[in-house]
Structure 1
C-alpha cells in the first residue's frame, strides 16, 4: 500500500460519463462530476485503517477500510454499497455491490501516475492522476 500513499490529482479522464450512466447516476450529478477535478489522498491511521479521501470543490468523500474486510460505503452519488478492498498483483481493487449490481475500480501506481480503471458491465473508464509532490 505504501506506493499509494500521498495526494494524487486528476489529470485525465476517458469515458467517465458513459461509466456513470452505466452505474445509474443521473444527468445533473454526472454534469457536476464531469466538471470536478478530484484529488485523492491516501493515508493510514494508527489502528491500521486505510483512508481514501476524494476531494473536489463540490464534495469531499472519505472511506476508511482494512484490506480484505467488507464495509458499508455511501458513495459520492449517495449509493449505499457493500464495498470490499483488496490488493491483487500490486493493484488496489475496489468492488462495490448495491441493489443486485456491482462495479469494480482498479487503482494501480505506474511511476508517478495512479491509473484508476472503472468497470461497470462492459463499460470501462480510465482516469489518470498525477502525484502531487
Structure 2
C-alpha cells in the first residue's frame, strides 16, 4: 500500500500559472486554475491505482495499472497518452501528445518527511510545485 493513498487538499503552489502557460492553457482556464483548491483522492491496491481530482471547476478520474499506457483527456480537454510508474516512493506520470507521442508533461508525486504530498510538474523546462496536506 502506498503512502500516497488518501485524500489530499491543495495547500500551496509555486510557479503554477507559468507551468500552465508552457502547456498552452488559455488565460481564462489559467485564472480559474489559479483560484481553485483541488482535492486529490489516491487509492492503490498492488498495480491498480485510482486518482480522482475534485474541484469546484471540474472533476476527473484516472483508473490505471502501473506501467500500462492509456488514452484519456487532460483537465483542459486535450486527448493525450498517459503512463504512470513508481520509482522508489515517487509516483511518476508521463503525459504525451496523442498523435506525435512527444513528451508534454512529467509529474512527480511523493510524501515528504513532514507528511505533505509534494507534486513537481514540468513542461517545456518550466517547473511548478504544489503542496497538499492530508485531509482529516
TM category (shorter chain) comes to over 0.9
Deviates more, 1:72-81 or 1:10-19: 72-81
| 2:56 matches 1:54 | no
Q: 1:37-60 CA distances to partner (integer Å, 9 max, x unpaired)? A: 000001247x96311001001111
User: Which secondary structure does the structure 1 equivalent of 2:67 belong to?
Assistant: coil
- Matched residue SS, 1:58: coil
Confirm or deny that 1:119 pairs with 2:122.
yes
Match of 2:42, SS?
A: strand
How many residues are matched?
Answer: 132
1:130 matched to 2:130: no
> Match of 1:24?
24
Matched, 1:86 2:47: no
Aligned to 2:111: 109
Per-residue CA distance 1:67-103 (angstroms, 9 max, x = gap): 0000112111111110000001210000000153421
Q: TM-score, structure 1 length as denominator?
A: 0.93
Q: Secondary structure at the match of 1:50?
A: strand
Q: How far apart are residue 4 of structure 1 and its match?
A: 0.8
- In structure 2, distance between residues paired with 1:5 and 1:89: 15
Give SS of 1:28's match. helix
In the aligned structure 1, how far is the partner of 2:87 from the partner of 2:43? 19
Instruction: Give the aligned partner of residue 65 of structure 1.
Output: 64
- Corresponding residue of 2:10: 10
Contact 2:49 2:63 in 1 (8 A): yes
Long gaps (5+) in structure 2? none
Please, which moves more after superposition, 104-113 or 9-18? Answer: 104-113
Partner of 2:74: 75
* Runs of at least 5 residues in structure 1 that lack an aligned partner in the other structure: none
